[in-house]
Structure 1
Amino acid sequence: MRTISVTAERAALPARSHKPWYKVLYIQVLIAIFFGILLGWLAPHIAESDWIKALGDGFIKLIKMVITPIIFCTVVSGISHIQDAKKVGRVGIKALVYFEVVSTFALIIGLLIGNLVRPGAGFSGTPDPNAVATYTRQAAEQHPVDFLLHIIPDSVVGAFAQGEILQVLLFAILFGFALLALGERADKLRSFIDDTAHAMFGVIAIIMKAAPIGAFGAMAYTIGRYGPTALGNLFGLIVTFYATAALFVFVVLGIIARIVGFSIFKFVGYLKDELLIVLGTSSSESALPQLMEKLERLGCSKSVVGLVVPTGYSFNLDGTNIYMTLATLFIAQALKFDLTLGQQLTILVVALLTSKGASGVTGAGFITLAATLTVVSPALVPGMAVLLGIDKFMSEVRALTNITGNGVATIVVAWWEGELDRDKLRAGLDRQIDPSDIETAVQTD
């Protein structure tokens, strides 16, 4: 077996001169976000136009266009190169255990902060029940059995065409095991899939050049559509949610990172490009391919990255968990509805289940909130209308927290599995890496 590591080859080369500041991706995205906010504030009639909105939507569609083939190639390649088939199940179990433990911490923190700060106390607004009819209808249609059955695609082609990550993941795992069973007869097909993965990351490298345009359009439309005034009435909840998410990332995830042996601050800095893209687009899916590639650069094995990251996008939504508990308490306090200890414990259990159906796309957290409120107390559901005006601003932090949590989860599982290259981890976090040069370390026979 021979190993081709693009990252290792690049590390052996002399360091290149730094790019001019105006060519650095994250600076371009920051500038684009600033001008997007400016346009949305000063000229909302222009910012709300379909053409401005299309800039952000188009960029997200470009990214989503290649997510399923990248996940398929990465997972199949990782599994088919594994000598021990039991390892796949072992990695999956470890990932799910980690997801549930950390998700519970996220829910508890949301409840504690909500009870201490009480952001909904003293709210005098009157919610409009009709405003949340769509979300409650969608929430009513969500059932655990339906969610499990939905993981199985009606057809493989349909799963790819509709961008269903969990369905593609299921098929990729089965296909990877099939190649593993074929042994040497599948060598040519493995090489083809590895080369396809390289090509897909090349497509991402091209698409990423449009990231500033996408961030500009998405941010301009958000501010133009909802306006700075949308932040006024419910500013306290937004600040509380932002602070709680930061507390979770830098304290809870920070402690976990320290146990594994790396700094959460350096890790966040390492992902700054992806985080800014997520901030601009409010979609954590927009950074999924780059996240997978960067985690491989940090020394996580291909098989762990391929299994943990896609699964985490549906099963490890830390930001969504914090949002659901905090928002539930805010609505209860705003409606002068005293939740008992039993009802608050119910929130923990229900939210652990309802959050599993949320994806990285904007709005999913609001639908899962409706499902949670319906189970805890139907009387709270109309209060969702209070949050409609500001949910867009909170969805950005949900996505930021989700992607950070999934990155940490992948490193933890790789460390737990004994497949974390600490030299690569240390080198990756201690030096600046050009994220616009998307490449991947691929192992081939």
Structure 2
Amino acid sequence: MQRFQQWALNPWTVLGCVLAGGLLGWSAPPLARHLGVVGVVYVDLLKMIVLPFMISAVIFSLQNLYRDGGAARIFKRVVVVFIGFSLIVAVLATLCSVLVRPGGNLPAETRAALGKIISADGDSSNTEMAMRGAEPSPHHTDLKDVLQSLIPQNIFASLANGETLKALVFALLFGFAAGQVPTRISGGLHQALETIYHACQTLTRWVNLPVPFVLVCMAASQVAQTGLQPIASMAGFVILFLLVSGMLMALAMALISRRAGVPFGTVMAAMREPFALGVATNNSATCMPAMVSGLVEQLQFARARVELLVPLSISLLRVGAMAYFVCSTLFIAALYGRPMSVPDLGLLVLVSVLSGFASAGMAGVVTVSLVGTICSYLTLPFEAAFILLMAVDPICAMARTAVTVIGSCAAVASICAAPVKL
């Protein structure tokens, strides 16, 4: 069973299954469209495990931190590392995009293909417009909206709705409070949370067994729905983002290697399962058990720190989304021939970092739509480009998730003390 899991989560196996699924979707679209339900069920099973795992891990780890001491000191490092990582990722993505300039100097046939995608109506229907009606007043986000999006009024409703950030806030506050309770009283809760935590890890291993089959089904369904033309027309942008993502993951694993004091190959083996899950599910939260397992069991970082920091980094440090926002905005600027000055690039970095933090808990079309917010700051048109970005988002979402997962592991390794070698 262990050998099968290693084979199933090998990056080459993942890549082969994605290519096989794409070939199936291209050659037999009617059959492939029906396979999408497999991916939906698989992701739902993983989401089922996420919230119990996160809450038990955070509260359990905070109790351990209070027993060991140093809870305040570690959160100072969290703030420094999270801000530093975000700025570095945004700057590197900006430099790569400025050098490559995807979207600029496109051949005439490529621009014609992009124009067809923009003007296509998938439903072959007319757009309905209301001639009269009250226009809603524009909504401006203020401090009250931010706080309400973080604080759960009813934790059970937040759990039922899958509101990860609200559940995380509750777990942090409850964990701080539980850390103040004497050990003789909180011992039962401590054992119960540890049981839930290990049970969730076991469930995750079981659910991950059919990953190769799931990947084939998901890739086939996606290609059958969108075809290969959007990917071919947006090849420059997709290749750039994949290269930037690969560079960021390589830098993150090099940092983990240095912090852990182990060879780069050992880090790659430890990150194999989180990477494969990120590519397979496009959901970074479902990778948390695998991230904890890799950092603790294979790289020997302290379990109490890792179990606290992994959910925190996955929920807040969205480095994959930050890199995507930068690359997408500069692609749109090049597509429309808009020159970007140094102040424009500085504003882009800042707004992309803030939008990355704001994207916590978002995925798919909602994440792509945040590019429009960044474009508005730079006076760039976004409506037509939105359709282009959505056409290739399934591929970009895989890279976004993988960067977020590996980058979060690097952040956790930077915050934790280096493992003691025996």
For normalisation by structure 1, the TM-score amounts to 0.80
CA contact (8 A) 1:279 1:396 kept: yes
1:170-226 Cα shifts (integer Å, max 9, x gaps): 111222222222212111121122122222222222222233333222221122222
Judged with a 3 Å threshold, the aligned counterparts in structure 2 of structure 1 residues 21 and 78 are, in CA distance, closer, same or farther, namely closer
Give the corresponding residue for 1:338: 339
CA contact (8 A) 1:216 1:280 kept: no
Give the corresponding residue for 2:166: 167
CA contact (8 A) 1:253 1:264 kept: yes
Give the corresponding residue for 2:154: 155
Structure 2 residue matching 1:153: 3-state secondary structure: coil
1:366-389 Cα shifts (integer Å, max 9, x gaps): 122122222222534543333221
* Residue in structure 2 matching 1:365, options 364, 367, 372: 367
Q: Which amino acid aligns with 1:386?
A: L
Alignment of 1:31-430 (within 5 A): 32-49=17-34, 52-83=35-66, 87-123=70-106, 124=111, 125-126=114-115, 128=118, 143=141, 145=143, 146-183=145-182, 184-251=184-251, 254-255=254-255, 257-258=257-258, 261-297=261-297, 298-358=299-359, 359=361, 361-415=363-417, 420-423=418-421
Q: Which amino acid aligns with 1:79?
A: L
1:104-148 Cα shifts (integer Å, max 9, x gaps): 1111111111111111112434484999x9xxxxxx868463334
Q: Partners of 1:386 and 1:310 in 2: how far apart? A: 32
Q: Give how far 1:259 is off.
A: 5.6
CA contact (8 A) 1:250 1:265 kept: no
Give the corresponding residue for 1:429: none
Structure 1 residue matching 2:320: 3-state secondary structure: helix
Judged with a 3 Å threshold, the aligned counterparts in structure 2 of structure 1 residues 251 and 202 are, in CA distance, closer, same or farther, namely closer
CA contact (8 A) 1:268 1:404 kept: no
Q: Partners of 1:209 and 1:144 in 2: how far apart? A: 45
Q: Give how far 1:74 is off.
A: 0.9
Q: Give how far 1:336 is off.
A: 1.4
CA contact (8 A) 2:96 2:244 kept: yes
Judged with a 3 Å threshold, the aligned counterparts in structure 2 of structure 1 residues 345 and 190 are, in CA distance, closer, same or farther, namely same
For the aligned residue pairs, the C-alpha RMSD in angstroms reads 2.8
Q: Which runs of 4+ in 1 moved over 6 A?
A: none
CA contact (8 A) 2:23 2:220 kept: yes
1:63-82 Cα shifts (integer Å, max 9, x gaps): 11111111111111111123
Q: Partners of 1:182 and 1:110 in 2: how far apart? A: 46
Residue-pair matches, total: 394
CA contact (8 A) 1:56 1:218 kept: yes
Q: Which amino acid aligns with 1:161?
A: A
Query: Which sits farther off after the overlay, 199-208 or 230-239?
Result: 199-208
Structure 1 residue matching 2:355: 3-state secondary structure: helix
1:319-353 Cα shifts (integer Å, max 9, x gaps): 21111111111101101122232222111111111
Q: Give how far 1:399 is off.
A: 0.9
1:130-167 Cα shifts (integer Å, max 9, x gaps): 99x9xxxxxx8684633343111121101221222221
Q: Give how far 1:364 is off.
A: 4.2
Q: Which amino acid aligns with 1:246?
A: G
Q: Give how far 1:236 is off.
A: 1.3
Query: Which sits farther off after the overlay, 162-171 or 358-367?
Result: 358-367
Judged with a 3 Å threshold, the aligned counterparts in structure 2 of structure 1 residues 385 and 360 are, in CA distance, closer, same or farther, namely closer
CA contact (8 A) 1:118 1:330 kept: yes
Q: Partners of 2:140 and 2:8 in 1: how far apart? A: 39
Q: Which amino acid aligns with 1:281?
A: T
Q: Give how far 1:255 is off.
A: 4.8
Unaligned 5+ residue runs, structure 2?
A: 122-126, 128-137
Q: Which amino acid aligns with 2:80?
A: V
Query: Which sits farther off after the overlay, 213-222 or 378-387?
Result: 378-387
Q: Partners of 2:374 and 2:217 in 1: how far apart? A: 32
Give the corresponding residue for 1:430: none
Q: Partners of 2:101 and 2:380 in 1: how far apart? A: 21
1:37-59 Cα shifts (integer Å, max 9, x gaps): 2211211222123xx11111111
Judged with a 3 Å threshold, the aligned counterparts in structure 2 of structure 1 residues 306 and 364 are, in CA distance, closer, same or farther, namely farther
CA contact (8 A) 1:230 1:390 kept: yes
Judged with a 3 Å threshold, the aligned counterparts in structure 2 of structure 1 residues 41 and 423 are, in CA distance, closer, same or farther, namely farther
Q: Which amino acid aligns with 1:383?
A: A
Q: Which amino acid aligns with 1:212?
A: P
CA contact (8 A) 2:319 2:356 kept: no
CA contact (8 A) 2:273 2:290 kept: no
CA contact (8 A) 2:46 2:207 kept: yes
Q: Which amino acid aligns with 1:194?
A: E
Q: Which amino acid aligns with 1:375?
A: Y
CA contact (8 A) 1:231 1:390 kept: yes
1:276-334 Cα shifts (integer Å, max 9, x gaps): 23223333233222222332213222332233222212322222111111111110110
Structure 2 residue matching 1:379: 3-state secondary structure: coil
Q: Partners of 1:142 and 1:313 in 2: how far apart? A: 27
For normalisation by structure 2, the TM-score amounts to 0.84
